[in-house]
Amino acid sequence: MTLLNYLYWDPSKALIPWNLPILDRPLLWYGFLFALGFLLAYGILLILLRHETAKEVRANAKKIADNLTFYGILGTVIGARLFDVLFYENWNAILRDPWSVFKVWEGGLASHGGVFGILIALALFQKRHRFCSWVHLLDLLVLPAGIIAFFIRIGNFINQEILGKPTDMPWAVIFGHPADGSFPVPRHPVQLYEAFYYLAVFGILWFFRKRWSSWKEGRLAGLFLVVIFTFRLFIEFFKEEQSWWLYGSSATMGQLLSVPLIALGLYLMFRRSTHFT
């Protein structure tokens, strides 16, 4: 198969061709999709809260959704940025420009860090509000998280980042300007593999949501973590290594960071005690 047979992908990263007033920066597809994902996740969370059995939760569904979304966004952004700095970037470059840690608009967000950030954010939220257990909060957020993950990976595809390995498969994509500066060659569109897998997980769980409403607290969150991050273990074989620390290693940083989340998922699925504040 010749290069002419492959999809050539080189879109503009900007959603609109002019800078936003005051900010003097363009509106990027990634930022737009990130915000859209959280907006839809907010709506899904609101629906779930309005079907809660506790009357006080249903009565305050919007306020709870507002607060949970705020905590979730903070946890996602802070955790994702910290993990990118700790596990993916060259620390020498960070030391030369410490302010780069705070430049989240320039990229550098690690999805595993976003998950760990959300786990911590939920613990802080639960400690302050205590309308339900931490594990129940996890159950409430897995469906919204699935839709956010879908939109973020679509944003990665537009940004030509998180690249797949070269391949001659007929559905390979040639990225015109890869984010890592590499030469344009046919690659696995791993961003789309992940995006549509996450969308499928969301769809299946949403379709069967009435069945898992009777499950023990934490089992849904555990199942979600296991199916998502077991897939991450597999899909990493088709990705280029992104971590500055593990180039040439047999395991990727994405695989290593997936292991504790799979372990947490298995614990939540099979734990004997139902008490978990």
Checking DSSP bridges between strand 7-9 and strand 14-19, what pairing results, if any? Answer: unpaired
Q: What letter represents residue 136's amino acid?
A: H
By three-state DSSP, how is residue 152 classified? helix
pLDDT-derived band at 117 (thresholds 50, 70, 90) equals: very high
Mean per-residue pLDDT, 108-125: 94
Asked whether the predicted pLDDT for residue 214 surpasses 80, the reply is no
- What CA–CA distance (Å, rounded) separates 212 from 62? 23
pLDDT for 237 beyond 80 = yes
Helical (H) or strand (E) element with 35 = helix 29-49
27-46 confidence digits (pLDDT tens): 899 999 999 999 999 999 99
Residues in the chain: 277
Question: Which two tokens mark 131?
Answer: 């309308």
For 142-198, write each residue's pLDDT tens digit. Answer: 999 999 999 999 999 999 999 999 999 999 999 999 999 999 999 999 999 999 999
160: left (phi over 0), alpha (psi -120 to 50) or beta: left
Cα torsion 255, 258, 262, 264: sign: positive
**pLDDT at residue 73 in the model:** 95
Residue 277 has pLDDT above 70, yes or no: no
Residue 249 has a pLDDT of 78
For the chain, report the end-to-end CA distance as a whole number of angstroms: 57
Instruction: Find out whether 152 and 141 touch, Cβ atoms under 8 Å.
Output: no
The single-letter DSSP state of residue 176 is S
pLDDT band at 233 (very low <50, low <70, confident <90, very high): very high
- Cα–Cα distance, 220 to 222 (Å, whole number): 5
Q: How far is CA 124 from the centre of its chain?
A: 20
